[in-house]
A and B are shown apart, each in its own frame.
Chain A
Amino acid sequence: MFSMPEEFSITNGMGEMTNFSAPFKLLSMANEFERAGVILYAVELYTKILDNYPDTFEAVASRLALFLIASRYENDGKKESAIAIIRRISTIK
């Protein structure tokens, strides 16, 4: 659904030293979607981080976010969606 370059950079006086890494940018976007209530997109992006960047800090944050989204789904009676997310968290490393 989303396509973007792997690295995002802000150029400054000393060259391209402020790099926003792809996982960080994805995490920011996922969080923005989540806060805006667009949960399906948020889940997709958090999952993408887990799939593509499993050993990063962003994966840790994504796993936390997905777990909490699953918990909310469960509270709202959306058990199947909750289980699907928990399965994703558990199967990805």
Chain B
Amino acid sequence: MKIYTYGIIDSNISLEESLTGLNGAPVNNIPYRDISMVISTIDENNVEMTNTHAIEHRKVIEILMKRFTLLPVKFRSIYNRDQAISIMENFYSDIRDNIDRLRNKEEFGIKVIWSGEKIKEQIIRDQCRNNPVLLEESESQGRRFIEEVFKDYVIDKEFREKADICAAIVDNFLGKHVTEKRLEKLKNNDLLLNAFYLVERGKEKDFKEAFEVLKLAPGNFRYICSGPYPPYNFIKWSDPEACKQSGEKVL
């Protein structure tokens, strides 16, 4: 039997509530010092994950995050018992620091979508109007190649600069209600901003209201908010490589 892992909580007391996890298996916790890893057993010959498993995983996470400070682990994290204990032993100090920092905080995701292609078309039009030389075709093939590369560079640079400013406008507005943030800009042409915000419990209302205002704002932007989640994107490890290797060894 392997154990399926949901996360680490700030309590070493047995879970009172009768929770069921993947495949209806009862959810327990393995204590270590003042923390514990929340797990359920799983048949090691049948570990293929489905959408139903994802829903079961999420239900457990939602219940845990209401009652504890939860450091979630990735969906599909399967260990054996000794490995789970050794992770808590080896990384206890980091786990403790994260629990203290993330207590009473939740993560929200914000996506800002714009029409990247239209913006680029506009930039090309403006560039060609302001720099007619961009429209001229050189006779030399080598020079033509360099000019094409340069044109792409100019367009891409301006595209990124416009994205930076729009992302800053949105972040400046939402950022006032959060304690930490992680911003990813232009993961693709249309995804202007993919942001993760850490919000203190009690301030979620302000954050959600700010998001509603954002949705009413003028401009051809689309906004998507998700959460609250446990702080998947805000867990910090003093030695991320060692932590990653430890996770890979046991998977």
Are the C-beta atoms of B166 and A17 separated by less than 8 Å? Answer: no
Q: Which residues on the A side are within 8 Å of B168 (C-beta)?
A: 31, 35
Let me know if A41 is at the binding interface, CB within 8 A: no
Expressed in whole angstroms, the Cα–Cα distance for A58 and B178 within the complex equals 27
Secondary structure dominating the interface of B: helix
- Measured CB to CB, the closest approach of chain B to A57, in angstroms, equals 6
Let me know if B126 is at the binding interface, CB within 8 A: yes
Are the C-beta atoms of B166 and A61 separated by less than 8 Å? Answer: yes
Are the C-beta atoms of A63 and B219 separated by less than 8 Å? Answer: yes
**Residue positions of B touching A, CB distance < 8 A:** 119, 122, 126-127, 130-131, 133-134, 146-147, 150, 154, 157-158, 161-162, 165-166, 168-170, 172-173, 176, 210, 213-214, 216-221
**Residue positions of A touching B, CB distance < 8 A:** 7, 14-19, 21, 24, 27-28, 31, 34-35, 57, 60-61, 63-65, 67-68, 71-72, 89
Enumerate the 9 nearest inter-chain pairs by beta-carbon distance, A residue then B residue, closest first: A64-B219, A68-B173, A67-B217, A63-B218, A65-B169, A71-B213, A60-B219, A19-B130, A64-B217
Known: A14-B147, A24-B162. 9 other contacts (CB 8 A): A21-B126, A21-B130, A24-B158, A34-B172, A61-B165, A64-B170, A64-B221, A67-B217, A68-B217
Instruction: Name 29 interchain pairs, CB-CB below 8 A, sorted by A.
Output: A14-B147, A16-B131, A17-B131, A17-B134, A19-B130, A21-B126, A24-B158, A24-B161, A27-B165, A31-B165, A31-B169, A34-B172, A35-B168, A35-B172, A57-B119, A60-B218, A61-B162, A61-B166, A61-B219, A64-B217, A65-B169, A67-B217, A68-B170, A68-B172, A68-B173, A68-B214, A68-B217, A71-B173, A71-B213
